[in-house]
Amino acid sequence: MYELNYKEEIEALKDEPDFEAKGDEIYMRHEDDEARLEWAFYRPSGSHPDQVRDKNPIVSIMAFNHSRLPAYERFSIVNPEVIDKDNLRIKIRNRSRMLFRAMVDSDFIELVQVLEFAPVFLDLACDQMIHGRIWNETYADLNAATTFCSMVEDCLDEKLIEGIQRRLQPIDKFTYDEAKAYLETLTDQVQNLHIFIKEHYLEAYTEWMKHTSVHPLQRIALEKQIAKLKE
């Protein structure tokens, strides 16, 4: 009698109302790696975290690529061999690129978490910082941006600098009150900011002052605050 392979078995289960629950019960911890591999691919709501953690790196890779978990959680639980070995890491490169594209186009907090956990992806982060498009108006958290700048100090070339600058909060369209409030945010943490970020905003505020009509007394007060960015 013909025996179904795992793919055919899973296909036969698809019409069941509790397809995913049954699949989890049968295949999630199946002793055969091939069965777990097929289920990591077919699981309808995306891979389960336990599949991403799988003891077999190939199953873990499949689950990583089909997971819907946030980036840091995904990287932090994937089988360690997948990150440590070049020949395995390349198998998650496309999915990793997509994840880094999204992290770069956000507040940098998760980006820094992932890079601290897996610094081997720093080149991918820099690539997306340079070439990735900006899809939203979520700008970099200042502390996270400072950490990222420290991580990439040795490769801060013109293109990477431009990529980081594009993701820092722009101030050119700020009103006086907005500019004053954001400047206070900067100066409150000036001692912790990376020199690159301080220099960027020193230049940005200098330009803003040139093109904005401000009362003389307000201008003096702002100039004193701006000077703190030189510390």
Report the distance separating Cα 34 and Cα 22, nearest Å: 17
Kindly report, residue by residue over 117-143, the tens digit of the pLDDT.
999 999 999 999 999 888 888 999 999
Per 3-state DSSP, what percentage of the chain is helix, strand, and coil (rounded to 5)?
Answer: 70, 0, 30
Query: 168-203 burial, b for 16+ CB within 10 Å, e for fewer?
Result: bbebeebeeeebeebbeebbeebeebbebbbebbbe
Q: Is the pLDDT of residue 1 over 50?
A: no
Tell me the two tokens of residue 211: 């093109």
The tens digit of pLDDT for each residue in 28-52 reads: 999 999 999 999 999 999 999 999 9
Count each helix (H run) and each strand (E run) in the chain, helices first. 16, 0
Q: If we measure between CA atoms, which residue out of 153, 223, 146 comes closest to residue 191?
A: 146
DSSP one-letter code for 134: P
What is the model's pTM? 0.91
Q: What is the pLDDT of residue 174?
A: 95
